[in-house]
A = this chain, B = another copy of it.
Amino acid sequence: MPDQEIIADIRQFNRFYTAQLGLLQQHIFDSEYSLTEVRALYEIHFNKQTTATGIREALHIDAGYLSRILRKLEKAGMVLKHPLPEDGRSSYLTLSDRGRRLMVKMGTLSDDQIRDMLSHLPPNDHQTIAASMRELRRLLGAPGSGITMEQVEIRSDIRPGDIGDIIALHGQLYAKEYGYDHRFEHYVMETIHDYMVHADPRRDRLWLATSLGRLVGVVAIQHREGRQAQLRWFLIRPEYRGIGLGKALMQQAMDFCRAQRFRKIYLLTTDQQSAAAALYKKWGFVKKESTPASLWGHDLYEERYELEL
């Protein structure tokens, strides 16, 4: 049973955004096509092979109405019909060159409108606005809003807020996924503190994966005695797992270790992080030690993995 307050928020947003969209779609009134016609054009543009029924379902409009729209667009030379070989009733719909040019023009107008809207808002907020919209689209289950590597940026310069974010990410995720208590976050804080105090830019490095300005993944290499290196704080937000981010981060760390001529990499984990363990093994890490311990409110085995380079 959703909270009444949540519903109120959504309703308020809907009312607000109805007005907003009305403003942003005014440019369409200047064109010779109605909003629905333009929406149909968009639909044809973005779906490579779609039929009238496909569009009808996407736009939720009357079949007769759509039929007329398509006739008009076809007559105007914007849309081409390609009869389906396997079904004489339907046709694939595509845009003609002219239709594509129209889309570009409408896109430009729409962009101008949005640019104009943004110009009245603080520039600092632009990125946040886009991020919130993406987030909403994803949360509401919009098709094509899935998370991909393209949105993710990996960097290794440490900026203000990064350290705290890394600590918070560990605290949150390990609490949610393994039920570790606050002592774990505290432990992470201590290890990061240690890292920062002894950091040597040539032998230590930390990579941050961010998406829409938010921290979504981390890994670091910390130098140790005897040309050894420790791999630390390897962590990825659950939504961003399975898209190759783990591999990308690990690759960065490995490349760095090879370039710095480390002799051996080791890492410490527990038997509970089985998914991570699988990944370590894939990169050639081998479990060398496993000692029982009672940590952060759990009885577990501390494990040490090693990889000779």
Contact = CB atoms under 8 A, between A and B. Distances in A.
Given A17-B21, A18-B39, A126-B2, A175 B193 contact: no
Nearest to A188: B164
Interface of A: 2-7, 9-25, 35, 39, 42, 58-60, 107, 110-111, 114-115, 118-121, 123, 125-130, 132-137, 139-142, 145, 158-172, 174-176, 180-182, 184-186, 188-190, 192-193, 196
Contact of A163 (B25, B114, B127, B186): B186
B13 A140 contact: no
Contact of A136 (B6, B118, B136): B136
Given A170-B164, A193-B189, A115 B7 contact: yes
Contact of A6 (B129, B135, B170): B129
Given A12-B137, A137-B12, A161-B185, A132 B129 contact: no
A128 B3 CA distance: 12
Contact of A10 (B119, B133, B145, B181): B133
A198 to B, nearest CB: 12
A130 B9 CA distance: 6
B16 A137 contact: yes
A7 B127 CA distance: 10
Given A6-B127, A164-B168, A22 B136 contact: no
Contacts of A180: 160
Contacts of A10: 114, 118, 129-130, 133
Nearest to A144: B12
Contacts of A5: 130
Contacts of A125: 139
A163 B130 CA distance: 28
A114 B10 CA distance: 8
A214 to B, nearest CB: 11
Contact of A19 (B19, B24, B59, B175): B59
A150 to B, nearest CB: 10
17 contacts: A2-B115, A2-B119, A3-B127, A10-B133, A14-B21, A15-B42, A16-B140, A17-B17, A21-B21, A132-B132, A161-B168, A164-B169, A164-B188, A165-B168, A189-B192, A189-B196, A193-B193
A296 to B, nearest CB: 11
Contact of A167 (B4, B167, B176): B167
Contacts of A17: 17, 21, 136
A124 to B, nearest CB: 10
Contacts of A168: 161-165, 167-168
B176 A171 contact: no
B133 A136 contact: yes
Nearest to A26: B60
